[in-house]
Structure 1
Amino acid sequence: MKLSELLAGQNHHILQGDPGETDVTAGTAIDADRVAPGSLFIAVPGHQEGGPGAVAPALARGAVAVIVEDGHVPETPVEGACVVQVPDVRTTAAVVAARYFGEAGRSMDMVAVTGTNGKTSVSYMVESVLRISEGVRAGVIGTAGSRIGDELIPMPRTVLTTPESPDLQYLLGCMRDRGVGTVVLEATSMGLLTHRVDRTFVDVGVFTNLSQDHLDDHGTMDNYRDAKLRLFQGLCRHAVVNADDPVGVRIATLMPGAVTTYALDTDADYRATDLVVDASGTRFTLHHDGRKYPAAIPAPGRFSVANALATVAACHTLGHDLAGLVSALERMPQIPGRFERTTTASGTSVIVDYAHSPDSLNKVLGTIRGFARSRVVTVFGCGGDRDTTKRAEMGTIAGTHSDLCVLTSDNPRNEDPEAIMDQVVPGIEKTGTPYERFTDRRRAIAFALSAAGPDDIVLIAGKGSEPYQIVGDALLPFSDMATVRELAGS
């Protein structure tokens, strides 16, 4: 495709070369080491694997054109390539990547899910209920990677939950070409803020909730909230929002006449009552448009029901049969790493969950306490290079709801794991709950399993289905559930 076609209508200034004579044949890239001959390289300032300083390596790998941002023109001469300057490379990146892949989002039903907690769960639920109820071929893009049904689409391990525009548009093109009817995308706050979700043509944007997290990225809760709200300021046609959350109420003012609500505690278009929770799941009554639907999900807790309501509301908004969707809820498989359950040979129940914020840990432990018959043992930690203000609070939450805490490493990244645990300990000690600490996560899980009795519940929180642990800059293979099964011989 000609570079001039990719840039049509965009504010740009040609520094050298002729976009009308420049053929982009290998897509777009913002990582210099992923440039192929015929690529368009987009130099994003501050991007670790790219930026203006990576123009020379990108050209050496065969880039035929370069887009730079105003004020970030490469210092060294650029030879043999077309160079174009734009006011904002990230917004331009979304446009040109979408155009290169034929604006694939227009060809499918697009659902984007944002919120602090529940993005992955709702994404899995949407794919599951559409497949179970109507045989819809759906794609999922998010924390656990990208897949069509159960088939993973191979991508570099560094690809983000909400991929950068070149990767996201490539994935959408792949899914369209393989007959996908619906795509569910996890839209993170940073993904929205940096325009990665632009030009995906979202039909339904889902808002789950907002609680403290990612302050290391956004600085304040107001900034964090405003990043989430970008989805509902021109990026989606219709919104499905949690009316129990104040931010959900605010979204209704941003998109008047185009908002569907769900709730457990307030009046809403989709509402759940009569919740009955046990270790195997939750039964409830779903109310919509004056009718009642008996419903059940194989996941315990109010937060799981809220996710189910969001799922049903989003799918029904797309035009799918409500009765069939509700029936499919009960037949959904477990979501990997989201209240994922197993039982050891000795009878100890083990739950692996992604809970890594104060709110999510409190909800998961509160749910477990609601059906626990004996002791609750919690294995958890806090991530490195992330918001430090939540560490003691998470210690207090774990200590309040547990009979024994096992403090360990989460993803320490470039922080000292012992120093991270030192910041969590005061919160646990405030509750008087006994605790042990192990830097090695495997040892921590082994200790918890050995300390638990037949009727006890062990919660392993923080990493969910992640198949690795981030130590320094290395991704070391590690799975909580696989470790449990190995240690327990199950």
Structure 2
Amino acid sequence: MKLSELLAGQEHRVLQGDPEKTLITAGATFDAHRVAPGSLFIAVPSHCEGGPGAVAPALARGAAAVLVDDGAPALPASVWASAAGACVVRVPDTRTAAAVVASRYFGEPGRQMEMVAITGTNGKTSVSYMVESALRISEGAKVGVIGTAGSRIGDELIPMPRSVLTTPESPDLQYLLGCMRDRGTAGVVLEATSMALLTHRVDRTFIDVGVFTNLTQDHLDDHGTMANYRDAKLRLFQGLCRRAVVNADDPVGAGIQTMMPGAVTTYALDAEADYRATDLTADACGTRFTLHHNGRKYAAAIPVPGRFSVANALAAVAACHTLGRDLGPLVAALDQMPPVPGRFERFQTPHGTSVIVDYAHSPDSLNKVLTTIQGFARGQVITVFGCGGDRDTTKRADMGRIAGTHSDLCVLTSDNPRSEDPRAILDQIAPGLAATGTPFERITDRRQAIAFALSAAGPDDTVLIAGKGSEPHQIVGDELLPFSDMATVRELAGT
């Protein structure tokens, strides 16, 4: 495709070459190591594998063209010398331009499928799985999912370079959407993180329904304040989606109605809303409830216990109904949904101990999971958890307090320490936990911590392993080291 076609209508200034004569044949990338002959290299400032400093390596690998940011310094003479034959273009903002360019390169695939994007602090992965399951079970639809657990169509994973991003960078996201369209996918469910929205990764995906779950403390390391965090989430509802489904129990969700008048559908457990749930009855196997919509009642059940799971189910049903699906089959599909990997994922050891693996890594999510467990636990509750390194430090003591309040024993351990000393992270969690009086152990090695918890648990006890969910790795320094909580549990349990 001609570079001129990719840039049409966008403000840009040609520094070298002719966009009309420059053909992009190998896609676009921010990563200099992934440049192939015919690629468009987009030099996004501060990108860990690219940026203006990587222009020369990208050209050496055969980049046909380079986009640089207005805020980037002038390219040195050595780069110009290596740029012979390549087109170099300066744009006001490379991230904004990247979303447009990548979408056009793959034929704007988002326009050709039903698109649902989910944002919020907690529940994004669960709601995305529920939307996919509801559409697949109720009508046999082929639906793609992009999020924390990777990218897939049904059970088929789409291979991508290993990454820790829930929402891929725009060139990768548009590539995935193009793959899903080409494989006959009818719709795509996408997790939209705050940073993805802030950095324009979700631009030009043509979202039909945007879903807002909730806003609680998290990611202050990225955003600084809760107001900034909220505003990043709200970008989804400022021109990126046609309709919205929002949680009316959350003050931020309730406020979205003023942003998109006439285009918002609400759900809630407590507030008045278009979709409501009453008569909740939970046990270890799931939750039964009555779903109310438009004056009608529907008996419903989900195979996951807890109020938060019912809220997620309401969000999923409302999103699918907003797409035009019949409500009855959607409600019936809820009880048939498979478990979401790493979200209240259950296992029973041969000795009868119940183990739950959950992604809870914020104060609110940890509190909700532990409160739910307390509602059905027959014996002691033992919680294994830590806090991620290079992330919001202000929540660490609070998470310790919450774990201690709702547990009989806690095991503090490592959880993606990144560049921090794992022991220093535990030092910050411990004061909140110690204030509750609940006994706890400190075992930095996560496998050893899980082993200790299992050895300390009796047949009627419940062990919660929180923080990583279905993640297949530990992030230590710059390395992604293979590690799975559930696989470790099964190995230790001898199954």
Whether TM exceeds 0.5 here: the answer is yes
Q: Which amino acid aligns with 2:128?
A: S
Distance 2:477 2:164 in 1: 18
- Residue 125 (structure 1) aligns with: 130
- Residue 58 (structure 2) aligns with: 58
Distance 1:49 1:10 in 2: 25
Match for residue 389 of structure 2 among 384, 394, 401? 384
Match for residue 247 of structure 1 among 247, 252, 260? 252
Q: CA deviation at 1:80?
A: 2.0
Q: Note the 1:21-420 alignment, pairs <5 A.
A: 21-72=21-72, 73-75=74-76, 76-77=79-80, 78-158=83-163, 160-420=165-425
Secondary structure of the residue aligned to 2:429 is: helix
Secondary structure of the residue aligned to 2:488 is: helix
TM-score normalised according to structure 1 size: 0.99
Q: CA deviation at 1:372?
A: 1.0
Distance 1:198 1:11 in 2: 17
1:206-225: per-residue Cα shift (whole Å, max 9, x none)?
Answer: 00000000000000000000
Secondary structure of the residue aligned to 2:180 is: helix
- Residue 424 (structure 1) aligns with: 429
Distance 1:74 1:449 in 2: 58
Q: CA deviation at 1:159?
A: 5.7
Distance 1:213 1:159 in 2: 17
Secondary structure of the residue aligned to 2:190 is: strand
- Residue 456 (structure 2) aligns with: 451
Distance 1:82 1:157 in 2: 30
Q: Which amino acid aligns with 2:231?
A: D
TM-score normalised according to structure 2 size: 0.98
1:333-374: per-residue Cα shift (whole Å, max 9, x none)?
Answer: 111000000100110000000000000000000000111111
- Please identify runs of 4+ aligned residues in structure 1 that moved more than 4 A: none
Secondary structure of the residue aligned to 1:211 is: coil
Q: Which amino acid aligns with 2:56?
A: A
Q: Percent identity?
A: 81
1:307-355: per-residue Cα shift (whole Å, max 9, x none)?
Answer: 0000000000001111000000000011100000010011000000000
Secondary structure of the residue aligned to 2:435 is: helix
Q: Which amino acid aligns with 2:204?
A: R
Distance 2:75 2:200 in 1: 23
- 1:80 and 1:159, CA in 2 relative to 1: closer, same or farther beyond 3 A? farther
Q: CA deviation at 1:489?
A: 1.3
Greater shift after overlay, 157-166 or 217-226? 157-166
Distance 1:377 1:288 in 2: 39
Distance 1:169 1:444 in 2: 40
- Residue 481 (structure 1) aligns with: 486
Secondary structure of the residue aligned to 2:393 is: coil
Q: Which amino acid aligns with 1:59?
A: L
Q: Which runs of 5+ in 2 are unaligned?
A: none
Secondary structure of the residue aligned to 1:199 is: coil
1:110-160: per-residue Cα shift (whole Å, max 9, x none)?
Answer: 000000000000011111111111000000000010000010000011262
Q: Which amino acid aligns with 1:306?
A: A
1:398-436: per-residue Cα shift (whole Å, max 9, x none)?
Answer: 000000001100111111011100111101100000001
Distance 1:47 1:476 in 2: 22
- RMSD over aligned Cα, in angstroms? 0.7
Secondary structure of the residue aligned to 1:237 is: strand
Secondary structure of the residue aligned to 2:161 is: coil
1:70-121: per-residue Cα shift (whole Å, max 9, x none)?
Answer: 1313223132211111111111000000000000000000000000000000
Secondary structure of the residue aligned to 1:50 is: coil
Secondary structure of the residue aligned to 1:204 is: strand
Q: CA deviation at 1:249?
A: 1.0
Q: Which amino acid aligns with 2:17?
A: G
Distance 1:146 1:123 in 2: 12
Kindly indicate whether residue 444 of structure 2 is the aligned counterpart of residue 439 of structure 1. yes
Q: CA deviation at 1:388?
A: 0.5
Distance 1:449 1:48 in 2: 39
1:183-209: per-residue Cα shift (whole Å, max 9, x none)?
Answer: 000000000000000000000000000
Q: Which amino acid aligns with 2:359?
A: Y
- Residue 13 (structure 2) aligns with: 13
Distance 2:164 2:300 in 1: 36
Q: Which runs of 5+ in 1 are unaligned?
A: none
Secondary structure of the residue aligned to 2:292 is: strand
